[in-house]
């Protein structure tokens, strides 16, 4: 039997060889570090036996799917520990791995306090030390129901009863603990090393607010204690960088109780926002885009035509105008279609690159709202590109180059993910295969490394997602490129070809920031509120020592404003030490201290947020210093 490995090499093994045995044949080191395997793109246990020629990838903790197998097993260890401690007072529900760790939901008689986390962790470490083999087995549906009923696990019974007849129902057993689970899992509990319960919260059974409230425990685990310590340090650092806290302290934005999920931008936040929008406009003009603006409210029929009414209605806000139903746009694309259709297009007009900073509204559950990261209204930095089929690859490459340029301005590193056809997709197999192949070809031709996210494409087409990495190593999904054959079909978009006949254009959807609001949230946390000079809402703070320097300070302020420097003058009656500390807390890049000596010599004493005291300058030298920092960035745009 021939096995194709990740690097394309082939290995001949006996039929019935497990993934773990395959890993051992490759190398003992790989087998020691293996968490799971991927067989023809599907994640499997290491115990899974290979029965035919296939492609196999051995997954370690460095792979997201390997991490998820590790974290899924840890969720079972946590559930086992909690069952050992609290016994029949606890009912099991579900406990999946997530992108950053795992959680498990329990029906509890009384909420378990965070004071008990340490006790649970001690029991988890005992289970790990016991190195219990993890066994997978299956039962028929009736047997599975009886088994879980005998254990008193009513929630598991409910899940099993909903499974189709004849479907294989799998369980995983470790010591006295057995759970209904599809897997995959590690080979034994001893494979897990460093564990931590992070928090607990309420969660409705199956996410339905009409169901019972459960207690959810979040946790994390790593193969090394040092990795856990680094992660916990990162979480502490993340708390300090919380954009909700800093947004309030730095007077950037607010969320009022009168508008949950609808952010208010304050004057300093608007300065930052306007700089980003002007930067967006500048770089798009340079790359051949035109800007449009489409209405926020459009007739319901349009949303039926686009497919959003069928695929997205539960997230849309609606209203009535003259007894006719209208939708408040959750996306900008249908409006972009109408702009394209506003006149006849020729092949000579294409590609058309139409950008829009479009305000959209989407209904999010109140429990999921999170500062600027999850809101109910936001501005997408959208663009829709209408092109000829033969222009697809060059246009995607152009977008990728633009994304790269924008992220490098902010010194972001990023990774790339290709998301493929989802279950609720529109269109034919042929169209989807063509679209996915086009994206793969561009990524290959541009030598871009990427991972495949199966089934997570948009309902109208596959997409490339960009995940930026911030200064403390967290990843944020911001930019995306979506290739769409469906919308032009549904809206009957055409152009006149060289042959004089009507043809169908191809459409590309794309964002780079993702949304202005979310990107600002990411920037706040990335810089911990200490923005670089070019986007800092206030670049310079003037601090006078006494009222005797008031007029000189005002003169300096006017000169800076005339040089397009964003400056504030703190003329309060506080002592200079207090003013300096206040400016530091406001994370101002430069402080200009003016005393009697500076006034007499017509100079400025300069303090840098980054370098501390940098000496004395005259006003022209200082203006040149600030503007040269901004100019360095503008050269890269």
Catalytic residues: 333, 362, 380, 382, 384, 463, 509
**d(C-alpha 420, C-alpha 389), whole Å:** 20
Task: Characterize the bridge pairing of strands 34-39 and 42-44.
Answer: antiparallel
Sorted by sequence, the CB contacts under 8 Å of residue 443 that are 6+ apart come out as 416, 418, 450, 464
Complete DSSP assignment for 377-406: EEEEEEEEEEE-GGGHHHHHHHHHHHHHHH
- What's the token pair of residue 393? 């690859």
Sorted by sequence, the CB contacts under 8 Å of residue 436 that are 6+ apart come out as 418, 420, 421, 462
Rama region for 342: left / alpha / beta (φ>0; ψ in -120 to 50; rest): alpha
Instruction: Give the bridge partners for 234, in sequence order.
Output: none
Instruction: Please identify which residue in the block is written with the tokens 């960009």.
Output: 466
Nearest residue to 298 via CA among 316, 279, 274 = 316
Cβ atoms 450, 478 nearer than 8 A: no
**Burial degree of 460 (CB within 10 A; 0-12, 13-18, 19+):** buried
**Burial degree of 365 (CB within 10 A; 0-12, 13-18, 19+):** exposed
Sorted by sequence, the CB contacts under 8 Å of residue 36 that are 6+ apart come out as 19, 43, 44, 45, 46, 59, 65, 66, 69, 184, 186
Nearest residue to 185 via CA among 68, 19, 318, 352 = 68
3-class SS of residue 108: strand
**d(C-alpha 438, C-alpha 444), whole Å:** 10
CA-atom Rg of the chain in angstroms: 29
Nearest residue to 275 via CA among 469, 510, 516, 470 = 516
Count of beta carbons in the 10 Å neighbourhood of residue 85: 15
For 304, half-sphere exposure in the C-beta direction (CA atoms, 13 angstrom radius) is 5
Helix axes of 64-86 and 117-130: crossing angle, nearest 10 degrees: 110
**d(C-alpha 444, C-alpha 452), whole Å:** 13
């Amino acid at each position: 039997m021939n096995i194709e490995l990740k690097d394309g090499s082939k290995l001949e093994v006996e039929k019935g060889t497990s993934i773990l045995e395959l890993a051992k044949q490759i190398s003992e080191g790989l087998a020691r570090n293996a968490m799971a395997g991927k067989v023809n793109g599907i994640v499997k246990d290491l115990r899974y036996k290979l029965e035919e020629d296939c492609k196999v990838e051995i997954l370690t903790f460095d792979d997201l799917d390997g991490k998820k197998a590790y974290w899924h097993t840890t969720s079972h260890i946590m559930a086992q520990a909690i069952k050992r401690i609290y016994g029949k007072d606890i009912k099991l529900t579900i406990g999946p791995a997530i992108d950053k760790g795992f959680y498990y939901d329990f029906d509890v008689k009384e909420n378990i306090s965070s004071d008990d986390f340490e006790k649970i962790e001690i029991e988890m470490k005992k289970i790990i030390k016991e190195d219990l083999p993890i066994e997978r087995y299956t039962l028929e549906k009736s047997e599975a129901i009886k088994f879980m009923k005998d254990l008193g696990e009513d929630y598991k019974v409910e899940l099993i009863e909903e499974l189709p007849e004849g479907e294989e129902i799998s369980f995983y057993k470790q010591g006295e603990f057995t759970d209904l689970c599809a897997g995959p899992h590690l080979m034994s509990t001893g494979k897990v090393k460093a564990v931590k319960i992070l928090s607990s919260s309420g969660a409705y059974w199956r996410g339905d607010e009409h169901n019972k409230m459960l207690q959810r425990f979040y946790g994390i685990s790593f193969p090394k204690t040092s990795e856990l310590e680094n992660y916990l340090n990162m979480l502490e650092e993340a708390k300090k960088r919380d954009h909700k806290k800093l947004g309030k302290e730095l007077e950037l934005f607010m969320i009022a109780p009168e508008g949950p999920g609808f952010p208010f931008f304050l004057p300093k936040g608007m300065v930052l926002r306007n700089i980003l929008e002007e930067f967006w406009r500048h770089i798009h003009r340079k790359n051949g885009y035109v800007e449009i603006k489409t209405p926020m409210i459009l007739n319901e029929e349009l949303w039926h035509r686009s497919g959003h009414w069928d695929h997205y209605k539960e997230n849309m806000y609606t209203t009535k105008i003259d007894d006719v139903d209208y939708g408040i746009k959750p996306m900008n694309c249908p409006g972009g279609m109408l702009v394209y259709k506003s006149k006849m297009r020729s092949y000579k007009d294409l590609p058309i690159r139409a950008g829009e900073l479009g305000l959209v509204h989407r209904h999010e559950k109140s429990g999921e709202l999170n500062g600027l990261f999850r809101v109910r209204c936001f501005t997408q930095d959208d663009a829709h590109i209408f092109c000829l089929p033969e222009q697809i690859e060059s246009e995607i490459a152009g977008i990728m180059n633009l994304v790269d340029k924008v992220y490098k301005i902010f010194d972001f590193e990023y990774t790339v993910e290709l998301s493929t056809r989802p279950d609720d997709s529109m269109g034919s197999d042929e169209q989807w295969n063509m679209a996915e192949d086009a994206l793969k070809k561009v990524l290959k031709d541009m030598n871009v490394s990427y991972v495949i996210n199966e089934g997570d494409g948009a309902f109208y087409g596959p997409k490339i997602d960009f995940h930026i990495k911030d200064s403390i190593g967290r990843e944020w999904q911001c930019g995306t490129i979506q290739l769409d054959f469906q919308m032009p079909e549904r809206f009957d978009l055409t152009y006149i070809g060289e042959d004089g006949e009507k043809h169908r254009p191809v459409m590309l959807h794309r964002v780079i920031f993702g949304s202005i609001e979310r990107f600002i949230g990411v920037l706040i946390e990335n810089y911990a509120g200490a923005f670089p000079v070019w986007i800092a809402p206030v670049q310079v703070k003037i601090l006078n020592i006494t009222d005797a320097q008031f007029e000189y300070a005002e003169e300096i302020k006017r000169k800076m404003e005339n040089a397009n420097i964003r400056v504030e003058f703190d003329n309060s009656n506080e002592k200079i030490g207090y003013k300096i500390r206040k400016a530091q807390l406001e994370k101002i890049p430069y402080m200009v201290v003016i005393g009697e000596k500076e006034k007499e010599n017509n100079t400025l004493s300069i303090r840098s947020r980054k370098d501390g005291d940098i000496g004395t300058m005259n006003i022209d030298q200082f203006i040149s210093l600030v503007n040269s920092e901004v100019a360095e960035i503008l050269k890269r745009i």
